[in-house]
A and B are shown apart, each in its own frame.
Chain A
Amino acid sequence: MSRLPELEQELVATAARLSNTPRRFERRARALIPALALACLVAAALVASGLFDADEAGVHRGGARAAASGGFPADATLEDMLGVFRRPQTAADDMGIKKDQMNEIPDRQPGEDFTKSRRVEWPGVRIFLWPMRDGVCYGVPGGSGCPPLDALRRTGVSIGGGSGPEGHSLYGVVVDGIREVVLTAKDGPELRVPVRENFFYADLKDARVDRVRWRYAGQDQSSSTDGFFPEETEPPPPDPNASFKAIPGSFSTPVRFTAAGKSYGADRLAEQPAELFAAGGTWTGRMQYTGFARASARPLPTTGQAT
């Protein structure tokens, strides 16, 4: 510990701001140029074809908002977002699983690599992080999870929770720049949990948490995790009015179909794979999903037998 920990903390927070600002700007600029060009072309084509309506225009604005909230561009890698993977690996980071043992793990995720693990120094708790393809996995006492990088790019935080005989615990992966997670209950005090090496862990015993916020250095950003330990319920059905964003290159071949005796053609089927995101990966009761396939259809002139 330093003699002036307040000064150390402020210097590190300032360094975090410096590390985020220029790189984020440069990356966004690099990522935005082709994306904007593509978006303009696609928008022009879609508007000209009359296939997408005003609601769908709102979809793209929504997508942009979501990307901005996480603060990382779409091409940000694990190392770009999580500083713990940029530091050298030490003997203390070894989880004890050798490369030739990895295939024996029954529920191993695609690309999951235990040999590249990092141990998070947390008093009294063994916490490890390790990479997987397009994601990061973690293990804490009584729980584990593998949030996708895409979720971290967009939201900056992946929250998980577990229950055991000792009570609840709340934990998660956070991206660079977030230095504190604040847990609050409607009728309880605020619990401030410091972030260490892109991770936070709170042993809540039987305390309830209604809201989780996280603080970037110099900023405050709130999540919408009201009622974090709800009763287990069925996942909600997909919202047909929910927004979606077409993935470039995912347009299907033209589709023809008949409904109520009338022929239709869907020239472009915009599709987004369902995003199945479990908070922490082990908490099926908290699973939420968004995303669905949707087609813009237009009537076809009758040219013969409909199929």
Chain B
Amino acid sequence: MVNKAILLGSALACWLVSAAQAIEMEDDLGARARLEKPPQRIVSLAPSNTELLFALGLGKRVVGVTEYCNYPEEAQSLEKVAGYNTMSLEKVVAVQPDLVLAARGNDLEGVESLRRLGTPVFALDIQSVGQLLKAIERLGRLTGAEEEAAKLKGQLGQRVRRVEKALEGVEERPRVMWGYWSDPVYTAGKSTMIDDVFALAGGDNVGRRAEGAWPQVSLETILAWAPQVIFTTYVPGGPDSLGGEMARLRAVDGWKNVPAVQQGRIYYVEGDWLTRPGPRLVQALEHIARHLHPAAFEGP
């Protein structure tokens, strides 16, 4: 009887030890991923995932990336196994990954194929700064890089709090818009990451006044919205020609009446910072907050 209990107990202990090794988590698309041990060969199917993995110190374990993974520089020399929303299933399989880190925008049919071929897949769907911080923690748990994840989350969280602190007591919420001065303008509305960043940076995102996440609006709508600041991730001829573009807009009917154009408050923000749900999103937040509230960030 006692023997049996010991046997049972030791079996339980063994199971607990192995269970502590293995990790099972639900991903952002509702699928479960189970890893028997921390992954050693990771494929990233999104530039933001690549940036997150490198920031967690897992760069050496990344064995496959997308054609658009341009940051950090080391990522550029890695094996390219996917495009933006298409992937080469056989190239992913060929690098023999023990974890594929996917994203919402991926070819989900391909993601399912990978699962059925027995490759663990974990998909992220990050839509806000808060979700980014949570995702870092979960990613750390999944990959066995808890310490690095806690550190990165702490650093980024602190930078976000510093922005929030600077804006304490600032009542003004300038009307702000993301987009490029084409007609119609494709802008960011509710439930987008850009909207979240604008809110954290102390702005009133005019895109929220329209329906949908990515509304396309005409110039007359923009005149009605009267944005005081415009952030763009695209300037024809490159960011350096922004000054010339603004001078040109001041002479264009309609646009010359937009407050942001009149006051010369159109700013460039690196698209890779603002639109990728990676660690550099916080850089975009700081950049935008400083331009929206220059006075709040002055001082000692």
> Are A and B bound to each other?
no
Residues of chain A whose beta carbon lies under 8 Å from any beta carbon of chain B: none
Interface set of B (CB-CB < 8 Å, partner A): none
